[in-house]
Amino acid sequence: MSKALLTFTHPEILNPIKLVADRTVKPDSRGVAVISRLRFDPSIERSLSRPEGATLAEIVAEEMAGAVAPDLDFLVVSLHGPKSVAVVERRHWHLVRPKAGTTVTLRMRPAGGGALRSVLSIAIMAATALFAAWALPVIGPLATALASTAIGVGANYLLSSLFQRDDKKTEDKYTIAGTRNQANPWGPVPQVYGQHRVYPPYWALPFTRVIGDEQYLVALFVIGEGQHSLEQFRIGETGIDAYHDITTEIRYGLDTDTPITLYEEVTFEDAVGVELAFDDGFSIRTTASNVDAISVDIYFPGGLFWTDADGELREMAASCEVQYRRKGVDFAPDGPWVYVDVIFVNAAKKESFWRTLRWEVDGGPGTFDVQIKRGNVESDDSNTTDTMQWTVVRGMRYQHPVNYPRPLCLVAVQIKASKQLSGTIDTFSVVVASHIPDWNGSAWVSRPTSNPASVYRHVLQGHATALARSDAEVNLDALAEWHAWCESKSLTYQRVHDFDASVRDVLQQVSAAGRATPSQPVLGGGKWSVVIDRIQTVLRAHITPRNAHSFSGEVNYQKLPDAYRVKFLNRTKFWTADERIVLRPGLVGDPQLYEEIELPGATLPVVVDREAGRRFRIQQSRYETWYASQDFEHLVAPRGSLVRMAWPIIMPIGSGEPSRVKSIETAYTADGEKRIVTLDELVTMEAGKDYCIRFRQDDGQTSLWVIITEDGETNTVTLDSGGAEPQPGDLAFFGELDADSIDCVIANIEAQRDLGARLTLVRHAPEIESLADA
C-alpha cells in the first residue's frame, strides 16, 4: 500500500480528489491548513497550519486529544482542494497524508436526534456528568424549561423564542422562599446575584453561652463566597438595633479579613433538661465525639431564695457535683469517673439565672460521659425556691469552624436570650449584594450588579463552577456588548442560588433573563458567548428551493391562556412572595383561563409585567416553525441570524417561484433608461397591483426593486426603482410589493451528513421587542 492510489468520491462531487498514501512524501513549505469546526456556528472554529507529512489519523489525534474511540464515529474529516471537496472515511485516515496546499476540515455530526448530540459524549459535556458541579454549589436541579406550563404551550415558546429546549424534568426551587435559618451540612455555599434579602444558613451549629447570670445565643451565618455588601440586618421583621446586648461580627469576604472571634471553636451543644433532685442521684449524658473540652449549664428557673416572716428575701444555697469519664473505643471498657468540681451557688434572687462550668479533658480528645448530682436536699418549704436544672452539655473541639480555601462573607451574632428570644436565632435575615466582575463601559470591575451579562460571566468563571473558564475561553467582547444591550432594556437577573444545578441550566436561566441563549463551544474551538433574541438589521442569508431542500413546517394551534399568573419575590415589598396577573395582549373581557409561570431572576413588578407580556407576543407572532436543509452554504449564517425565506407553498398568492437572473439588458423608454431582467422562471402579474423583485448579491446582501407591472405571464421584468443592480446568476424573489419573502431567524442548526445541516426557522417578528419595550 505504500504507493497505492486512493480515490475518494462523493455523489455531489464531479471531480474527486486523488490522494497518494505514501510514507515517503516530503514536506512542502506551504504546509497543510487544518480547520477544526466542531460545532455549526462558523464563528466557532480553530484554524492552524502544520507541515506536510502527518496522516489524517495523526491530525485527528492531536486536534481531539482525550476523545475516545466511539466519539470518532461522529467525526467528519473532509479535504478541500482548489476545485473539489472529498470526505475521507475513518478506515482510511491512517493511509492518507494530505499534500501541502490542502485544507483539512474536522466537524462533528449528530448521532441522530438534536444538533450537537454527539458532542455530549465527549470531554466537555462528559465533565458535566462526572462533576456534580459543573454546578453552582448552591442550587438542587433547576427546572430546565424557562417556565412551568399548565396547558402545554411552553415547549413551543422555548423554540420560537430561540431558547434551547431541555426535556429533563427537574425540581425548580425558585419560589420556595426560605424564611428560616437552617443548617446545611455538606451543602452548597450560597451565591447571590443582584440584590436580595436572604435568610443565610448556619455555617456552624448555634449554641448558647452563659456570661454572668445571663444566657446568650451565638450563631455563625454564611452569606457567600467573596466580597459582599450587607445592609438591613433583621431578626424576624425587627431590626437588630432594637435588641439589647447584641454583638455582631462581620467578615465581608475580603482577602484581608481576620478570623471570627465570637465563634472560635467548633461547639456541639445538646439539651438535657433534667431537674436535679438529691434523691435521684447522678444524671448521665454523653458528649459529641472527639472533643477537647466540656461545659455544662445549671439553671435556676425561679431564682434561688427563701422569704422570712417579714417577706424579705434571704440567701439560699444550692450545689451540685460534676464528674466525667472517657468512653471506651473499639470495645474497650469505659474509663474511671473523674471528679471535676462542685458548682456552689449562694444567692437571694427571684429572677431566673444560670451558672456554667467548663473544663479541659485529660488524655486528649475523645467521647465522654458526664454525670451530675445535686449536693444538698431541695427544700419543700413554700417560702423557699431552689429548683435546679441541668439544661445543657457541650463538647468543644479546638479548631476554628471556618476552614475554607477562599474568603467567605460571614456574620457572627451573639445576643442575650434572656427576656428577648424564645429558642434559637432562626429568622435572621440581611439584604445582600455580591461583588462580581461587571462591565463599566471600558473595563470589567468588581462591584454589585444584576446585569445578566455579568452574571453569565461569573457563572462560567467563578469559583462556584468546578471547571471555571479562562478569559481566553469566553468571548468577553460579546458579553460587553450584551451588557450594554441589557442595560438599555433594563434587563436584570436577581436571584439567590442556594441549591445544586448544572452550569448549563444556570446559563440558560441567566441568558433567558437577558433575552438570549447560551452559545457553547465544543472541543477546543471557539468561545463561550450568547445569541441575543433582538431586532436584527444585518441579513445573513437567503433560503429558497434553489439553495435548500426538504422543506417542512408546523403550526401551533394551541389555545393561549387569557392571563399568566406569575409568582416571584417582590423587591418592592422587601422580597416577600407575591403574584402578578398579566393579561394576554388583545384580550377582551375578563380572563377565564390562567397559566402559572415563573420568570427566574425577576424581582420587580414592572419587569414581570413586561417580560410576561413579551412571552405572550412571542407565542402570538411565532406560532409557525419551518425546517429546511442546506449543504455547506448554511455556514454563512450562525444560529440567531436574520435570513430571508421564499418558499412557494407558504408565500402569499401572487408570489412567483424563486428564480435566477439569466441576463440583463438596457431599454430606453419615455421614462428614461430602464433595466430589463430575464429570469429562468415565469412570473405572473395582474394589472392594478404593485410588484417587486429582490436579488441576492454576491456578498449575500439584498437588492430590492419595484418593477413595472405588465399584465400576464412573462420571464422578463422591467426594473423601475430600487437598490444595487443585479448580476447574472443572482437569486431572485418575485412577489407583490412587501410580500416577496419572509424575514426569519435561525432558531436551531442541526448537523447532517456531508457538511449539510437542517435549519429551524421562526419569524423575525421585530414587533415583539418594540411592543414589549413600548
| pLDDT of 523 over the 80 cut | no
| DSSP-derived pairing of the beta strands 32-36 and 18-20 | unpaired
pLDDT above 90: percentage of residues in the chain? 52
Question: pLDDT tens-digit profile of 181-200?
Answer: 998 888 889 999 999 999 99
Give 121-178 as a DSSP string.
Answer: GSHHHHHHHH-TTSEETTBSPPPSSSS--SSS-HHHHHHHTTPPP--------TT---
The three cell numbers locating residue 280: 435521684
Give the C-alpha separation, 693 to 739, whole Å: 10
3-state helix, strand, coil in the chain (%, to 5): 15, 40, 45
Please report the pLDDT score of residue 755 as a whole number: 84
Question: pLDDT tens-digit profile of 104-152?
Answer: 888 776 543 333 333 322 222 222 222 222 233 333 322 222 222 222 3
Please report the pLDDT score of residue 651 as a whole number: 73
Beta pairing partners, 517? 531
Question: pLDDT tens-digit profile of 38-71?
Answer: 544 444 556 778 888 889 988 888 887 767 677 7
Helix (H, G, I), strand (E, B) or coil at 592: coil
What letter would DSSP give residue 499? B
Other CB atoms within a 10 A radius of the CB of residue 129 amount to 11
Rounded to 5 degrees, φ, ψ at 698 are: -60, -35
CB burial of residue 231 (10 Å; 0-12, 13-18, 19+): exposed
Place of cell 429570469: 679
Give 24-71 as a DSSP string.
Answer: TPPP-TT-EEEEE--SS-TTS-EEEEE-TT--HHHHHHHHTTT--HHH
Nearest to 642 by CA among 715, 745, 544, 520: 745
Please report the pLDDT score of residue 311 as a whole number: 86
Give the C-alpha separation, 663 to 741, whole Å: 22
Please report the pLDDT score of residue 161 as a whole number: 53
Please report the pLDDT score of residue 559 as a whole number: 87
Give the C-alpha separation, 624 to 159, whole Å: 10
Q: Nearest 10 degrees: CA dihedral of 633, 639, 642, 647?
A: 60
Q: What is the pTM of this model?
A: 0.72
The three cell numbers locating residue 53: 507529512
Please report the pLDDT score of residue 535 as a whole number: 93
Give the C-alpha separation, 550 to 626, whole Å: 11
Question: pLDDT tens-digit profile of 607-632?
Answer: 999 999 999 999 999 999 999 999 98
Give the C-alpha separation, 425 to 602, whole Å: 29
Q: What is the mean pLDDT of residues 199-205?
A: 93
SS3 readout for 167-234: CCCCCCCCCCCCCCCCECCCCCCCEEECEEEECCCEEEEEEEEEECCEEEEEEEEEEEECCEEEEEEE
Instruction: Tell me what the pLDDT averaged over the chain comes to.
Output: 82
Answer yes or no: are the C-beta atoms of 569 and 177 closer than 8 Å: yes
Give the C-alpha separation, 236 to 633, whole Å: 62
- Nearby residues of 408 by Cβ (< 8 Å), 6 or more positions away: 189, 203, 222, 223, 224, 225, 251, 253, 402
Please report the pLDDT score of residue 484 as a whole number: 97
Q: Nearest 10 degrees: CA dihedral of 746, 751, 756, 759?
A: -20
Q: What is the mean pLDDT of residues 637-653?
A: 82
HSE toward the beta carbon, residue 545, CA cutoff 13 A: 11
Beta pairing partners, 234? 239, 429
Please report the pLDDT score of residue 653 as a whole number: 57
Going along the chain from its start, the domains and CATH numbers come out as 5-108 (3.10.20), 114-184+437-537+558-622 (no CATH), 200-263+402-426 (no CATH), 267-397 (2.60.120), 627-772 (no CATH)
Q: What Cα–Cα distance (Å) separates residue 593 from each residue in 155, 254, 307, 565, 615?
A: 18, 51, 74, 10, 16
Answer yes or no: are the C-beta atoms of 99 and 460 closer than 8 Å: no
CA 321 to chain centroid: 58
Burial 200-214 (b: 16+ CB within 10 A, else e): bbbbbbbbbbbeeeb
The three cell numbers locating residue 745: 431567524
Burial 274-288 (b: 16+ CB within 10 A, else e): eebeeeeebbbbebb
User: Where is mean pLDDT largest: 103-117, 236-250, 645-659?
Assistant: 236-250
* Start-to-end Cα distance in the chain: 71
Give the C-alpha separation, 601 to 492, whole Å: 7
pLDDT above 70: percentage of residues in the chain? 84
Helix (H, G, I), strand (E, B) or coil at 584: coil
What letter would DSSP give residue 240? G
What's the residue count for the chain? 774
Higher pLDDT among residues 456 and 25, named by residue:
456
Rounded to 5 degrees, φ, ψ at 502 are: -75, 155
| pLDDT of 481 over the 60 cut | yes
Question: pLDDT tens-digit profile of 249-272?
Answer: 999 999 999 999 999 999 999 999
The three cell numbers locating residue 584: 394576554
Higher pLDDT among residues 464 and 583, named by residue:
583
The vertex-583 CA angle with 577 and 586, nearest 5°, equals 165
Nearest to 414 by CA among 233, 236, 218, 213: 218
The residue type at 537: T
